[in-house]
Amino acid sequence: MTGWSKTWTYVDGDWLEGNPPLTGPRSHAFWLGSSVFDGARIFDGKMPDMDLHAARLNRSAVALGLNATMTVESIIGLTRDGAKKFDGSVPLYVKPMYWAEGEGGNAILPDAETTRFCLCIFEAPMGAPTGMAITLSKFRRPTIENAPTDAKAGCLYPNNGRALREAKSRGFDNCLVMDMVGNVAETATSNIFMAKDGVVYTPIPNGTFLNGITRQRTIALLREAGVTVVEQSLRYADFEMADEIFSSGNYSKVVPVTKIDDRALQPGPLGRKARDLYFAYAAAGPRL
């Protein structure tokens, strides 16, 4: 496929430029979805919380029945090496991955001993904090009983994709997705926050969505700055009545919601504070 941004991928001891072919039609991951990944960022010479992203990747591998073959330190070291292949003018997306090649006794089970690792790094500008319009999705997040929600697994994302596609077909940028009992879980692409009367609220992790690393960092930074952050079950009506709404995620970090259904919102002071605190935290971290 043409149009990929500048990309380098580490696999089997070598760095390869572009989008190298790594699997075939009999690869378990290609066929039956046994892959996990994580996503981190490099910008302004910093890679905030890379250790947490690498550790989560390894936990995801184990949750999906794969072997975590790389140490956190090795993944961090490879990320530093890979970053040197770019000139630093464009932010980078860092995507370490594990997947299974073979079958483990039958077609359904992956063979953990065939686990492979790659680290893909590519240029990806940060999303501008211009705001997004959201609505309610008719699709819902699964629970741990019927999907591997304790892993950042590739097989989970088609469900997010259909929620996003349906919302976009109605003219929205994104959507809020509920869990199976009707509580708001997240957007189709990120964790979600709202503010009411000077207090920030966010859905409490209940096993239906990933407790994002940027989410956890945002909560900690706001609390350190004296802002009350409450993690609790939230309904869609809570967001409809919010003073402000913002989201957090690795790709764009902290961005505002400027419309929910037909109600316009302005980027609010607590969302701006969360974004400012995050980028100040990242800037104060060690350089690559």
| pLDDT one-digit tens code per residue, 3-12 | 899 999 999 9
Looking at residue 104, its pLDDT comes to: 87
Contacts of 256 (CB under 8 A, 6+ apart): 129, 131, 132, 244, 245, 246, 265, 267, 268, 271, 272
Cβ(39)–Cβ(95) below 8 Å: yes
C-alpha–C-alpha distance, residues 10 and 118, integer Å: 5
Of the candidates 99, 105, 104, the one whose C-alpha atom is nearest the C-alpha of residue 117 is: 99
Q: What is the largest CA-CA distance in the chain?
A: 57
Q: What mean pLDDT comes out for the span 210-219?
A: 98
All domains of the chain in start order, with CATH: 7-123 (3.30.470.10), 132-283 (3.20.10.10)
C-alpha–C-alpha distance, residues 7 and 12, integer Å: 17
Q: What is the DSSP string of 87-115?
A: -SSS-EEEEEEEEE-SBSSSSSSB-GGGE
What is this structure's pTM? 0.96
Q: What mean pLDDT comes out for the span 18-29?
A: 95
Q: What mean pLDDT comes out for the span 191-202?
A: 98
C-alpha–C-alpha distance, residues 285 and 279, integer Å: 10
Q: What mean pLDDT comes out for the span 160-185?
A: 98
Cβ(28)–Cβ(100) below 8 Å: yes
Looking at residue 205, its pLDDT comes to: 97
Q: Is the pLDDT of residue 1 over 60?
A: no
